[in-house]
Amino acid sequence: MRQPRDIQRRHPGRKLATRVLHSASSVDAHTGASSIPLYQASTFHHASLEHPPEYDYSRSGNPTRQALEDTIAELEGGARGFAFSSGMAAISTAFMLLSHGDHVLCSEDVYGGTYRLLTTILGRMGIETTFVDMTDLDQLEAARRPNTRAVFLETPSNPTLKITDIAAVAEWARKHGLLTMLDNTFMTPCLQRPIELGIDIVLHSATKFLCGHSDVLAGLAVVANEKLGHQLKHLQNALGSVLGVQDAWLLMRGMKTLTARMECAERNARRLADWLSRHPAVSRVYYPGLPGHPGRDIHERQAHGYGAIVSFDVGTGARAKQVLERVTLPLVAVSLGAVESILSYPAMMSHAAMPREVRLQRGIGDGLLRYSVGLEAIEDILEDLDQALDEEVRAACRD
């Protein structure tokens, strides 16, 4: 099967919008078909025991899944890619590179599922975690221990969209011999490529923007070098939390429209963030594209856009729930990154696993809402949200 590195060598100047359509998943090398087949097989015939086939058992490798893995490696600029049954399966497998007694430094306002993994599972296995404000390198250095082995980042963070200087953290970690991992779900390789900035492992909940259609559960990982690739391949095979071929095929199909979807969703998000920043019922808006957003200059150096996630605070949990009950256009749901808008309530959804006092310390208040902006007409998005933030809510906010 055609390898993504070969494509890059032949056409190094091609833009990502072109490469996402002309990648390892674009043409079947055996038949010329414009779509990679679904190899719905659990096992593969050994024609010769002396010369084993490339694929022997689908947990260890499958041609459909391989096409997806080669594609994400190409788009992220990494050495190898790996597909898992969910974003948390990808993150959990990456953390299995660590051992009992190791210590992790993690972004303090990390996704709730990652927080749960680190605190309730890896902690029980003897892997300790310190949550740090990654925007402050002095705090990072102060939290480092002799047994620190890895740094885990989210930028923009979920859900307050704090910005971490990726290159600075990667350089600091490299100086101390630390493994770096970054969750790139919000940005996708369209807008941010952390491996080019020095990160060792990039992770995605591919359920979100990469798939984009709310119909697949998947996770992806990309490593910066072959050594890490061999290690992660061993873990993927040993743990077995691989992505099935049906979901791999659907994910590849969704990724073909990634750049077009991201461009449209980001345009809408910019309009929404600006509108919310002037709305009397909203006390604060979190979006990297707004003037005055902390870390905006850093974000603009390391990313190619601001993304499609806008968080905003309406003051109290009661007001947030009132908005959730009144909107008619977005899904009120867990998840993000779909063609349709999704409005989430972090306190009871994405960050429900985080104790309330911890949430509040990290700036995730009871009045915070997270809007994943979809592809609807922006006028309809604004009109719907305006009726949800009606005069009764505005009056309550003024009291």
The alpha carbons of the chain give a radius of gyration, in whole angstroms, of 21
How far are the Cα atoms of 18, 19, 31, 276, 330 from residue 26, in angstroms, in the given order?
A: 11, 9, 12, 40, 32
- Out of 165, 183, 366, 384, which one is annotated catalytic? 183
Q: Cβ distance 163 to 299 under 8 Å? A: yes
Identify whether 175 is a catalytic site residue: no
Count Cβ atoms within 10 A of the Cβ of residue 252 and give its class: 0-12 exposed, 13-18 middle, 19 or more buried: buried
Which residue among 80, 193, 208, 370 is the active-site one?
208
How is residue 368 annotated by DSSP? E
Tokens of 180: 């770096």
CA-closest candidate to residue 182, choices 166, 163, 161, 196: 166
Active site residue 208: yes
Question: For residue 145, with 0-12 CB atoms within 10 Å meaning exposed, 13-18 middle and 19 or more buried, which class applies?
Answer: exposed
Question: Which one of the listed residues 2, 28, 59, 284 is annotated catalytic?
Answer: 59
- d(C-alpha 393, C-alpha 322), whole Å: 8
Catalytic residue among 39, 111, 287, 306: 111
Query: Cα(338)–Cα(208) distance, rounded to whole angstroms?
Result: 6
DSSP letters spanning 329-351: SSEESS---SSS-EEE-TTTTTT
Q: Is 183 a catalytic residue?
A: yes
**Is 80 considered catalytic here?**
no
Spatial distance between the Cα atoms of 132 and 139, rounded to a whole number of angstroms: 7
Active site residues: 59, 111, 183, 208
